[in-house]
Amino acid sequence: MKRLFDILFSFTGILLLQPFFIAVAILIKVDSRGPVFFRQERIGRNFRRFIIYKFRTMVVDAEKNGLRITSGGDHRVTRAGRILRKLKIDELPQLINVLKGDMSLVGPRPEVEEYVKLYKEDYMEILKSRPGITDVSSIIFREEEAVLKNQIDPEGYYKEILLPEKIRLSKEYIENSSFLYDLKLVLNTIHKIFYPHAISGDACSQKRVQDPSNEN
């Protein structure tokens, strides 16, 4: 049922969004030098590597000139990229990954190999499922870049605080996964895009990353 929904939704989405994709592609090319798409290797289901697709939001070779993560105010993000990232439009090409079977609409967000290796035991459980375009952590930590901007060591904070909380939420999602739950998360994701300041459903997760020393 889940895979059938993924195929129908991604195929329909790609078909209907073609004119919009063309407009975004033109915006990216006019704004800065480089390709329209950003491609990066991620670790997927059963630890299989795959190439994830996004609209390019950063300057060419950004990964060679900075961290793997992006924090607010990152100078590598282009003018068009700021808009695309804010509205999560840069994630839309992942519908191609969904159609190919690399990803699902809903599932734990795929990480690069470096981060997966840090918590390999946890990912042994998580990567029994296909990674997704959106999940619980995508909704709760929508302002992740703003959070990282305020850290002295953004990458260390991501690895030691944010990523473990994302892993916890991924495990929780897998335990409660169902078609209705996935549908709810898709609708919540869309709602969060249009109403970014709406209160998130898991205040506990936000508290953990804001005050990691508090175990209650």
pLDDT by residue, tens only, the chain of 216 residues: 899 999 999 999 999 999 999 999 999 999 999 999 999 999 999 999 999 999 999 998 888 777 777 887 888 999 999 999 989 999 999 999 999 999 999 999 999 999 999 999 999 999 999 999 999 999 998 888 888 988 889 899 999 999 999 999 999 999 998 989 999 999 998 888 877 666 555 544 555 565 554 544
Nearest-5° angle of CA 35, CA 43, CA 90? 35
3-class secondary structure, 77: strand
Asked if residue 215 belongs to a domain, the reply is no
Domain that holds residue 184: 2-210
What integer pLDDT is reported at residue 115 of this predicted model?
95
CB-CB contact of 40 with 52 (8 Å): yes
Asked if residue 216 belongs to a domain, the reply is no
Q: What is the pTM of this model?
A: 0.87
Asked if residue 32 belongs to a domain, the reply is yes
Asked if residue 112 belongs to a domain, the reply is yes
Asked if residue 178 belongs to a domain, the reply is yes
Whole-number Cα distances in Å, 84 to 81, 103, 142, 216: 5, 21, 14, 36
CB-CB contact of 9 with 105 (8 Å): yes
Asked if residue 25 belongs to a domain, the reply is yes
Nearest Cα to Cα of residue 208 among 150, 154, 149, 147: 147
Asked if residue 51 belongs to a domain, the reply is yes
- What total of structural domains would you count in the chain? 1
